[in-house]
Amino acid sequence: MHAYEFLNKVPHSKTSSTGLSMILDKGLGLNNASDLVQSAGEYIDFIKFGWGTAATVESDLVIKKNKIYHDNKILTYPGGTLLEIAIQEKKLDLFFKETSRLGFNAIEVSDGSTSLSKKIRDNVIFLAREKGFFVVSEVGKKNPLLDHKISIETRVSQIHSDIASGSNFVIIEAREAGKNIGIYDESGNIISQELDILAEIGTDKLIFEAPLKKQQVDLILKFGPQVNLGNIASTDAISLETLRTGLRGDTVGKVK
């Protein structure tokens, strides 16, 4: 039973199929992984083992964390950077096998640190789906200089193309820091123009990386609590949920 169940709040849970939350695990040990699901497990839809962190620890730790997360019905995947490196090294098949062996059930397809032709990108999405993985693809570059060169038209076109190729969701890149990248300016504020165009095409299939609280607040106030948000710090998982449900000052009385 929840505490304070008699209070009205915006209904939200991951079984309601709206308002997905993706949390960033950047190297948690088992005590912290266990604490994370104990307090916030019922609200977390995805946990990403950020960038190449999954390849930096013992298999055993990855397998155990995946088990803890799956027991709480959370989809998990290694960061897209790791897939990019595997593709560069022409080891895609090994990558899929290892990712399965470690217990991940999703794959992130990105070209944030490298370049992929549309043909290869589409094919990787297709193959990952065929192997049985849930697939999230990511639009954006890690390097702000390169990221700023992507026109909003190109972003929109890649979103459509990814979904056509089989992506379950498309992530809008913002990295761990959330500044000077994607839909955010140098201070981490939303660039309205970019966001409006994304809003036009619909946000059901989009996950906005939004590591900063003000980004979470602004996106929830614009799109409602059902907006999909990602790259949330593991220590902010519960805070995000209070924002969605109207239990933090920033959204009290402003969401429904």
Site for a copy of itself in 86-145 (CB under 8 A): 86, 88-89, 91, 94-95, 98, 102, 112-114, 142-143
# of chain residues touching a copy of itself (CB under 8 A): 72
Q: Does 184 bind a copy of itself (CB under 8 A)?
A: no
* Near a copy of itself in 1-20, by CB under 8 A: 1-4, 6-9
As a whole number of angstroms, the distance between CA 34 and CA 41 comes to 9
CB of 125 to a copy of itself, least distance (A): 20
Among 21, 76, 216, 245, binds a copy of itself (CB under 8 A): 245
**Minimal CA–CA distance to 133: which of 161, 109, 164?**
109
By CB under 8 A, tell whether 84 contacts a copy of itself.
yes
Q: Residue ranges of the alpha helices (H) in 138-181?
A: 144-148, 152-165
Query: Binding of a copy of itself at residue 187 (CB under 8 A)?
Result: no
In angstroms, the CA 254 to CA 10 distance is 10
Instruction: Give ∠ CA 99-103-107 in degrees, rounded to 5.
Output: 45
Distances from the Cα of 36 to the Cα of 33, 75, 97, 152, 243, angstroms: 5, 14, 27, 35, 18
| Stretch of 49-57, 151-159, 161-169, 215-223 lying at the interface with a copy of itself (CB under 8 A) | 49-57
Asked if 214 and 188 touch (Cβ cutoff 8 Å), the reply is yes
Give the whole-angstrom CA distance, residue 54 versus residue 107. Answer: 13
Least distance from a copy of itself to the Cβ atom of residue 17, Å: 19
Taking CB under 8 A as the rule, does residue 154 contact a copy of itself?
A: no
**Is residue 99 classed exposed, middle or buried when 0-12, 13-18 and 19+ CB atoms within 10 A define those classes?**
buried
Q: How many CA atoms lie within 13 A of 166 on its CB side?
A: 19
Q: How far is the CB of 58 from a copy of itself (least distance, A)?
A: 6
Does 256 sit near a copy of itself (CB under 8 A)? no
Residue 39 interacts with a copy of itself (CB under 8 A): yes or no? yes
161 belongs to the binding site for a copy of itself (CB under 8 A) = no
| 55 touches a copy of itself (CB under 8 A) | yes
Closer residue to a copy of itself in complex, CB, 111/122:
111
